[in-house]
Amino acid sequence: MSKNRSSSISLDKIALSLSVICVVQCLILPISLLFIPTISILPLADVSFHKFLLFFVIPVSAFAMIMGCKKHKSYNIIYYGIIGLGIMIFSAIWGHDLLGESGEIVATLTGTSILSFGHIKNKKLCTKCCH
């Protein structure tokens, strides 16, 4: 396996893992806050946690998508990344104010799902083309 192929696939895995962290945080945290009030003092419940995650998600996702597209030449995969990241950025910055807490969670999960789908397709195309 070539070094470029394995690094691109690894970046897709890292980007997917970051997306899963976001999904888990969005789904588990509100439920756990109902049962364990002391968790609410953790910084995970803060909007800054989403922004902190995006600080890693954006560059890793963008780099993984670009590297994958250079390999398999299917540049339409980038649209999943742009749309997914766009929704996630919107949700992190304005989601709570414009959509409310539930709307922010739905928007974040939607963006994460679209981005994850793009990374899965990117990984499959990289594996298929370079095999």
- Per-residue model confidence (pLDDT) at position 111: 92
- 84 against 46, higher pLDDT: 84
The mean of the pLDDT values for the chain is: 78
Q: What is the pLDDT of residues 28-55, one digit of tens each?
A: 656 665 655 555 555 555 567 777 788 8
Distances (CA, A) of 21 to 2, 69, 91: 29, 25, 16
Burial class of residue 122 (count of CB atoms within 10 Å of its CB; 0-12, 13-18, 19+) = buried
Predicted TM-score (pTM) of the model is: 0.68
For residue 16, pLDDT over 60 is answered with: yes
- Per-residue model confidence (pLDDT) at position 98: 92
- Per-residue model confidence (pLDDT) at position 87: 94
Q: How many CB atoms lie within 10 A of CB 118?
A: 28
- Per-residue model confidence (pLDDT) at position 31: 63
Burial class of residue 64 (count of CB atoms within 10 Å of its CB; 0-12, 13-18, 19+) = buried
- Annotated domain spans of the chain: 3-129
Burial class of residue 43 (count of CB atoms within 10 Å of its CB; 0-12, 13-18, 19+) = exposed
For residue 100, pLDDT over 60 is answered with: yes
